[in-house]
Amino acid sequence: MRRIVLALLLVLTASPAAAEKLASTVSSSTVQITSSFDGAVLSLFGTIEPDTPGVALTGPYNVIVVITGPLQDRVTRLKTNSFGIWSNTDQVTFRQFPSFYNVLASGKLDLIAAPEAISANNLLPIEQAQATATIGESAKATQFGTELVRLMTEEGHFAVKEDGVRFLSATAYVAQVTLQSDVANGPFLAHTLVFKDKQLVAERSEGFTVRKTGIENFVFVASRQQPLLYGIVCVMLALGTGWLAGVAFKR
């Protein structure tokens, strides 16, 4: 009986363990591409809250946000010079490879998360490339993936910014992602991870869409859904433009 009473007292006097949850949002759920579109900047806001009301949170916390763009199949090829003739001699196919991949963090990745967590969540672009390669040779996937990531980085579609997340308070943060003017159309995913003492304590995903509007969207849809009619109209427009140009220059 004494043991039961003691156990009840321990349960009543013990403070509840702190557990975190994440509330986040994106400044715009849709990015519209028009003829004057030259890029966009989106803000991602979030706050870390206790999973149980009344429980005090004990930081410090770190945040990593991974923004992934529409997935595409990519083929990388190796060209070699044989007797003055350049030809493709090897290739690697990457299935469902992201057209956009930005990693925004509140500090150095190796100080925020353990190496296992970095690899498990593909927080480095090269690891994302290796994960989508269709071949079994890891060395070849690394070689071709490194070059693909380098090209995507030079184009501004891949980036790792270890100062891309700014804390507004002990639990509230903001991050900004820049979309280039040639960003791919389609669904984007912003996956946020919260770390404490290098351990993942909360995560959440938010989505937004990039799409063409106006005449750009009409032309894009027509070229995909009615290719024959689209081709005929393009030829007629070209002939008409050529005829008008001939008349104008004759005068």
Q: Is the pLDDT of residue 14 over 50?
A: no
Q: Choose between 103 and 16: higher pLDDT.
A: 103
Residue 96 — very low, low, confident or very high, per pLDDT cuts 50/70/90? confident
Question: Considering the chain, what percentage of its residues have pLDDT values greater than 90?
Answer: 34
How high is the pLDDT of residue 223?
58
Mean pLDDT of 202-208: 92
Residue 201 has pLDDT above 80, yes or no: yes
Over the chain, what is the mean pLDDT?
79
Contact 109, 123 (CB under 8 A): yes
Token code pair at residue 156:
């501004």
pLDDT in tens, 40-95: 899 999 999 988 777 778 879 999 999 999 998 888 887 777 777 777 677 788 88
Q: List the beta bridge partners of residue 65.
A: 104, 192
The CATH architecture that domain 14-212 belongs to is: Sandwich (2.60)
pTM of the model: 0.73
Closest to 91 measured CA to CA, from 80, 103, 102 = 80
Q: Where are the domains of the chain?
A: 14-212, 213-251
